[in-house]
Amino acid sequence: MKKFLKSSKKFINLTLLTTVIGAGFGVYASQGSIDQELIKGFSEYNLMKPGHYKVGKSYKIKDVKYTPKSNFSYKEEGLASWYGPGFDGKKTANGETFDMESISAAHKTLQMPCVAKVTNLENGKVLMVRINDRGPFHKDNRIIDLSKAAAEKLGFKEKGVAKVRVEVMTEESIQLAANCQGKEVSALQRELKLAQNNKQKRSSRQV
């Protein structure tokens, strides 16, 4: 009986945590959950769960230099590919565990974790993903690497690549970043605004 009560308590606590996270991040629709068309069956908690927030320093891959930076209004079109075998179970760039059957993605420079909407421009399918890794590193115009499960849901796993649009979900990503760093959303918003103002001042002085 004690074992049953203990298991029930753990389940209730996890349910409450998921509810609090979703409600706190303002990602719940009128029916109490993220639009299921953007999730396609994977856990809302996995999309918005707290984690280690990381931007990172500049790095080189194949003689190409990449400079990570926070960008909560990122939007770009290009090619998407997917990865899975050979990486499954390994650590992502921000220290999470990669699961090719979960919904996640890799980007060369965006802050991690963040939430992005990926639209397959070839078939119109749309999916929300959690970016928590670095990549892809190819010579063509690949802008995002998706987990195997994400590629399947976007309908291009067999083809291997697809033309997509990637958009960072600003509100959700700011709220997720604040939670990961133990900050209030308003405090992080002020920091981001100050950083943007300083950047604009530096740009004006260089003109």
Name the percent of the chain lying above pLDDT 90.
64
What is the spatial distance between Cα 10 and Cα 177, in angstroms, rounded to a whole number?
A: 26
Contacts of 58 (CB under 8 A, 6+ apart): 65, 66, 67, 68
Domain range list for the chain: 34-206
pLDDT tens track for 8-38? 443 334 333 333 333 333 332 323 345 556 6
- Could you tell me the CA-to-CA distances from 129 to 5, 108, 153 in Å, in that order? 35, 15, 11
Q: Which of 18-22, 39-43, 126-130 has the lowest mean pLDDT?
A: 18-22
pTM reported for the whole predicted model: 0.78
Residue 132 DSSP label: E
pLDDT tens track for 45-56? 678 889 999 999
- With respect to CATH, is domain 34-206 assigned 2.40.40.10? yes
Counting Cβ atoms within 10 Å, is residue 41 exposed (0-12), middle (13-18) or buried (19+)? exposed
pLDDT score recorded for residue 35? 59
pLDDT tens track for 90-117? 999 999 999 999 999 999 999 999 999 9
